[in-house]
Amino acid sequence: MGKYNVIIDKYKVPNALTLLRILLTISFLIISFYYKLYLLSFIVFLIACLTDVLDGHLARKYKLITNFGKIWDPLADKILVISALFALFVWDYIYLWMVIVIIIREVLVTILRAVMTKKNIYLSADILGKIKTMLQMIGIIIALAHKSLLNNFNFLPVIVIIVFYIVVVLAIVSGINYFTNMRKNIL
């Protein structure tokens, strides 16, 4: 019986980390906007990012893929990123149109993936999408670091806006790539 409990517990850990990331995102918003404790919100955001890395690592390494994880892990990631983008807009690091373009791309790609998955076609992330995600996280972390710790470094907001101009271009191009690949898989 003990052997099977370990297997069940292994499956619970990535899913628990996904739920924790959602709770951390809510905490991030409350700490950032209600309490205005920017260093704490920066730390909470970093911990949320680490839960994403850890749950992905565990799920891949031990092949702990669950239906819950397939749906909620990417959703938790999007909730975290959209919350951070909203914060960056409110704090004047990025423009509202940038947030809107990124959100529209994420929603459309998520819908596309869901439709294709129902047809047993898996669209993997292309290199541009991966670069977009990496730059997006770097931009968010730089902005949060500036807001909380490094506010004397006046060049950091300039770096953030430049990074997000690149992110928007990559979001558009990689989004077009997803739809192009979908057409190739269907035809």
The domain containing residue 70 runs over which residues? 1-90
Of 109, 115, 113, give the one whose Cα is nearest residue 170.
109
What is the pTM for the complete model shown? 0.86
The reply to whether 170 and 106 lie within a common domain is yes
- Residue where a domain stops, chosen among 60, 90, 120: 90
Distance CA(23)–CA(33), nearest Å, equals 16
86-119 pLDDT tens trace: 999 999 999 999 999 999 999 998 888 888 878 8
The reply to whether 80 and 5 lie within a common domain is yes
Whether the per-residue pLDDT at 74 is higher than 60: the answer is yes
The reply to whether 4 and 59 lie within a common domain is yes
- Residue where a domain stops, chosen among 59, 90, 121: 90
How many CB atoms within 10 Å of residue 140? 26
